[in-house]
A and B are shown apart, each in its own frame.
Chain A
Amino acid sequence: MSDTVTGGDTVSRMPKFLRRADPAVATAFACIIALLIFGSLYSSSFLSPEYLLQQLKVASFLGVIATGMMLVILLGQIDLSVPWTVATGAMMASAAAAFGPMGVALAIPFGIFCGMMIGLVNGIGVAYLRIPSMIITLATNAVAQGLMVVYTGGFSPQDSASEAMRYLATGSLVPGVPNAVIVWALIGAGTVFLLTRTTFGRSIYAIGNRERAAYLSGVDTRRIVMITFAIAGGLSAFGGVLLAGYASKAAQSMGDAYLLPAIAAVVLGGTSILGGRGSYLGTVAGVILITLLQSILSVMQMPEAGRQIIYGVVIVVMLLLYGRAPASR
């Protein structure tokens, strides 16, 4: 039968360690190195440990948000509610911090909880009501925005982030290593475990590949879709909590700058936008790549308009490159 899917021949001739590496992930890492070399030609401080660590810290906010996005994209869905889920997480955590010592203690969990609620609504809409994720997440984004505007009266909220939030985002438990990077590493390790070692993770891949086959195999696909959206919402909100800690307070539309970069990081890391295929290592590479690109464009003092254009063009070009590569996982 002529139903083989993979280019098995070319793969089997490669050495073993390369065979295991996804070509997309390798490309992303190669681009990171190329960007660093290009940047160091521009400014010698580009390769300094301080700069690199600073970039990693900035990347970790995007990294946490992109983790949730990756889980949803692996299902073959999309989460467009990221901007205001991020803002909701930040604002609700800051708001809780204003309610005495109890509020301070519960600020972070409360922010994440609010994000999970938004994600849960997304998940119920997609899994049980069969609303396309593009529509329902766009709608919950608008609702979250409205609720936050009602809460703040349309001005930047006066509440400021709790000590714990600031410590998580800007402190460093291990000298020299920002806490935000440690947080991202922990979330990343948890995600890798979830995706590779648990039945839940396997079900996510299976649903992304063939929801029908997964359903007919006796897996409760709707429950898994719903929970995955809730996790993604929680991670977006957690990203917002970290951002609020970083800036000491929440702000209107602070999440707007994270939707496209989160999707781009996931897809540049080799995760199929159609779902079912991708590794977390790729998302890590994608997040670092996007962060470096943004940084280099701002170091070069490129005007905002030019930055947006280059940023968009790079994403389209890289997606085209990946689109030509044969499917493999």
Chain B
Amino acid sequence: MDTAPEETRPLLHMQGISKRYGGVRALEDAELVVHAGRIHAILGENGAGKSTLIKVMSGVVAPDQGRIVLDGAEVTFDSPAAANKAGVVCIFQELSLIPELSVADNIMISDPPTRFGMIDRRAQRRIAVEALARAGASDIHPSALVKDLPLSRRQMVEIAKALARKPRILILDEATSALTAADVSKVFDVLKRLRSEGLALLYISHRMHEIAELADDCTVFRNGQKIATYKAGTKSDNEVIELMIGREYQNVFPPKPAPNAAAKPILECRGLTWTDRLTDINFTVRPGEVVGLGGLDGQGQRELLLALFGVLRGCTGQIVIDGEPVRLASPAQASSGKVGMALIPEDRKTEGLMLPMTVRENLAFAAMDKVSKHGIIDRQAEDRLLDEMVKLLAIKTAGLEIPVGALSGGNQQKVVIAKWLMRHPRIILLNDPTRGIDVGTKQEIYQLLRRLADQGAAIVFYSTDYDELIGCCDRVLVLYDGAIKRELVGDEITEHALIASALNIDVAEAAKMARANA
């Protein structure tokens, strides 16, 4: 382990923290030491356990095991309010402000000053002015409505709101992701001043250059465990990426065939743009190809898949199928026989399945025209097709008449995939299809994707898991801020290249490093 700063007694010490969600291990014996008057950055891939650690620290979830020592005394937080009281305050990713209320109301929302049981507006206003001044945002009027403020100002109100709770430890979870560069530097000035006032700041961000500018200490998490703590500036970007990747991955992926460059593209995207979330997306997919979408979470990958599937309104640019420009205004059009598109959505529980309905109803739902005549369902034809699908994907179910919600997560996901395969789609879009399912089912899905590609389907595959992108994809398009920043082909698809381009740092250096390692 690298040396942790020892100059002061730690303000907060989290020891042996473990937390499981069902079968998924989010944190395993994790440790974190936080000192007053320092900015501590936490790094890790998606799903490394950072968010869970923050939630444990701020009382949102209770750990299964482990202790939290604050100022030398062990504490337990059974609610965010308890954590706030002890001086641990978190600014979460999503803005938590109520747009219709004033700035002062928002700042004091959980604990307004009262007088004779009524809210003391004058005191509330005074505290709000103080908090705003401390956050370096005294230009914001306390009685302005939050909905009238621009996004960057709202983030300042969010910080003021946290400061009004008199924190000793302030946690910022991706607090700058909504801000422009100019606003970020203002926020940084505030954070540096707070540090000099003796606060401990925990800073979580995917932006490496922000961490380099701001942090005093860094801790890297991976697979729910602390990997290393080091002083900022003592490691290069590439060393940090090494720490974040860690473990070798096993050979669970099917072999990739040689690319068939002669095939004509089946799907072509020309200059696709949607609000400020997608900017000028251009790419093609040939039959038999598995094309991955990479990058950090929330850089426009989901929007791209939804735009292709006709869900988003107001897209500009062209979608070309088989050389013919088409207009796809709804999933019904995108999945029609002529286009033959299918989307395995992100959240099977709200977008893929009707959980209380039966396996039969769910499986047949996307292909009802195949099992019915003039709108009347042909039970025999349906039984035949569904049995085939259940066998093909080895869906473990106690029959077609049980609610699909009773199946395990992996089998539910198989139902989502099977319901689309019943249509024999030519273009298959997958939005993080293996999230939250077991390793065995994941492997089956990888094999299935390759088999479908070999049969001539074109596959566009977004995953938050870099291993999957490397193992499954012939090409990977890395998105950053709604635009394709880089295309990785064949052997170029490595974790170094993926993470480096995802973080938008120097790709050439990362590639060199990768070659040196190989």
| Contact assessment for B345 and A1 in the assembled complex, using a CB-CB cutoff below 8 Å | no
In the assembled complex, A40 has its CB within 8 A of some CB on chain B: no
Partner of A5, one of B311, B361, B405: B405
> Which of chain B's residues has its CB closest to A217's CB?
B366
| Contact assessment for A199 and B353 in the assembled complex, using a CB-CB cutoff below 8 Å | no
Stretch from B70-78, B251-259, B331-339, B447-455 at the A interface: B331-339
In the assembled complex, B109 has its CB within 8 A of some CB on chain A: no
The 8 A CB mask of B327-365 against A (1 = contact, 0 = none) is 000111011100000010100011111111100010011
| Contact assessment for A210 and B353 in the assembled complex, using a CB-CB cutoff below 8 Å | yes
Residues of B within 8 A of A217 (CB): 331, 335, 365-366, 419
| Contact assessment for B332 and A329 in the assembled complex, using a CB-CB cutoff below 8 Å | no
The 8 A CB mask of A1-13 against B (1 = contact, 0 = none) is 1111110100000
In the assembled complex, A276 has its CB within 8 A of some CB on chain B: yes
Residues of B within 8 A of A205 (CB): 354, 357, 361
| Contact assessment for A199 and B351 in the assembled complex, using a CB-CB cutoff below 8 Å | no
| Contact assessment for B375 and A213 in the assembled complex, using a CB-CB cutoff below 8 Å | no
Partner of A216, one of B311, B356, B361, B402: B311
In the assembled complex, A75 has its CB within 8 A of some CB on chain B: no
| Contact assessment for A220 and B332 in the assembled complex, using a CB-CB cutoff below 8 Å | yes
Beyond A1-B408, A216-B351, list 8 extra A-B contacts (CB 8 Å): A1-B436, A6-B406, A8-B406, A198-B377, A209-B355, A220-B330, A220-B332, A277-B356
A–B complex contacts, Cβ < 8 Å, 21 sampled: A1-B436, A5-B355, A5-B406, A6-B356, A199-B369, A199-B372, A202-B377, A205-B354, A206-B354, A206-B357, A206-B361, A209-B356, A210-B350, A213-B350, A215-B311, A215-B331, A217-B335, A219-B365, A219-B368, A276-B356, A329-B356
Tally A-B pairs: CB < 8 A. Answer: 103
* Interchain nearest-CB distance for B278 vs A (Å): 19
Q: How many residues of A contact B (CB 8 A)?
A: 30
In the assembled complex, A327 has its CB within 8 A of some CB on chain B: yes
| Contact assessment for B353 and A202 in the assembled complex, using a CB-CB cutoff below 8 Å | no
Residues of B within 8 A of A199 (CB): 368-369, 372, 375-377
In the assembled complex, B23 has its CB within 8 A of some CB on chain A: yes
| Contact assessment for B403 and A329 in the assembled complex, using a CB-CB cutoff below 8 Å | yes
In the assembled complex, B409 has its CB within 8 A of some CB on chain A: yes
> Which of chain A's residues has its CB closest to B360's CB?
A202
Interface residues of B in 94-124 (CB under 8 A from A): none
In the assembled complex, B22 has its CB within 8 A of some CB on chain A: yes
| Contact assessment for A213 and B356 in the assembled complex, using a CB-CB cutoff below 8 Å | no
In the assembled complex, A218 has its CB within 8 A of some CB on chain B: yes
Residues of B within 8 A of A254 (CB): none
* Interchain nearest-CB distance for B228 vs A (Å): 32
| Contact assessment for B409 and A209 in the assembled complex, using a CB-CB cutoff below 8 Å | no
Residues of A within 8 A of B361 (CB): 202, 205-206
Question: How many angstroms from the CA of A5 to the CA of B355 in the assembled complex?
Answer: 8
Known contacts A1-B22, A218-B332, A218-B335; A6/B405 CB under 8 A: yes
Q: How many residues of B contact A (CB 8 A)?
A: 40
The interface centre, meaning the residue of B350, B352, B354, B406 with most chain A CB atoms within 10 A of its CB, is B354
| Contact assessment for B366 and A218 in the assembled complex, using a CB-CB cutoff below 8 Å | yes
In the assembled complex, A130 has its CB within 8 A of some CB on chain B: no
In the assembled complex, A214 has its CB within 8 A of some CB on chain B: yes
Residues of A within 8 A of B377 (CB): 197-199, 202
> Which of chain A's residues has its CB closest to B311's CB?
A216
* Interchain nearest-CB distance for A303 vs B (Å): 43
Question: How many angstroms from the CA of A8 to the CA of B406 in the assembled complex?
Answer: 8
In the assembled complex, A200 has its CB within 8 A of some CB on chain B: yes
Known contacts A1-B23, A217-B331; A202/B368 CB under 8 A: yes
Residues of A within 8 A of B334 (CB): 218
* Interchain nearest-CB distance for A96 vs B (Å): 31
- Provide the main secondary structure of the chain B interface: mixed
* Interchain nearest-CB distance for B367 vs A (Å): 9
Question: How many angstroms from the CA of A2 to the CA of B23 in the assembled complex?
Answer: 9
Which A positions have Cβ atoms within 8 angstroms of B?
Answer: 1-6, 8, 197-200, 202-203, 205-206, 209-210, 212-220, 276-277, 327, 329
| Contact assessment for A216 and B406 in the assembled complex, using a CB-CB cutoff below 8 Å | no
Question: How many angstroms from the CA of A290 to the CA of B415 in the assembled complex?
Answer: 41
Known contacts A1-B409, A199-B377; A212/B356 CB under 8 A: no
* Interchain nearest-CB distance for B439 vs A (Å): 14
| Contact assessment for B353 and A213 in the assembled complex, using a CB-CB cutoff below 8 Å | yes
Residues of A within 8 A of B352 (CB): 213, 216
Residues of A within 8 A of B436 (CB): 1
| Contact assessment for A210 and B354 in the assembled complex, using a CB-CB cutoff below 8 Å | yes
Residues of A within 8 A of B309 (CB): 216
* Interchain nearest-CB distance for A194 vs B (Å): 9
| Contact assessment for B331 and A6 in the assembled complex, using a CB-CB cutoff below 8 Å | no
* Interchain nearest-CB distance for A2 vs B (Å): 5
| Contact assessment for A198 and B375 in the assembled complex, using a CB-CB cutoff below 8 Å | yes
Interface residues of B in 1-35 (CB under 8 A from A): 22-23
Partner of A276, one of B335, B354, B375, B408: B354
| Contact assessment for A327 and B356 in the assembled complex, using a CB-CB cutoff below 8 Å | yes
| Contact assessment for B365 and A3 in the assembled complex, using a CB-CB cutoff below 8 Å | no
| Contact assessment for A202 and B365 in the assembled complex, using a CB-CB cutoff below 8 Å | yes
Residues of B within 8 A of A203 (CB): 368
Question: How many angstroms from the CA of A213 to the CA of B331 in the assembled complex?
Answer: 11
Question: How many angstroms from the CA of A274 to the CA of B377 in the assembled complex?
Answer: 26
> Which of chain A's residues has its CB closest to B419's CB?
A217
* Interchain nearest-CB distance for B495 vs A (Å): 28
Question: How many angstroms from the CA of A218 to the CA of B429 in the assembled complex?
Answer: 14
Residues of B within 8 A of A212 (CB): 350-351
The interface centre, meaning the residue of B23, B364, B405 with most chain A CB atoms within 10 A of its CB, is B405
* Interchain nearest-CB distance for A39 vs B (Å): 36
> Which of chain B's residues has its CB closest to A8's CB?
B406
| Contact assessment for A218 and B331 in the assembled complex, using a CB-CB cutoff below 8 Å | yes
* Interchain nearest-CB distance for A75 vs B (Å): 13
Question: How many angstroms from the CA of A182 to the CA of B365 in the assembled complex?
Answer: 34
Residues of A within 8 A of B357 (CB): 205-206, 209, 276, 329
Question: How many angstroms from the CA of A220 to the CA of B375 in the assembled complex?
Answer: 14
The 8 A CB mask of B404-418 against A (1 = contact, 0 = none) is 011011001000000
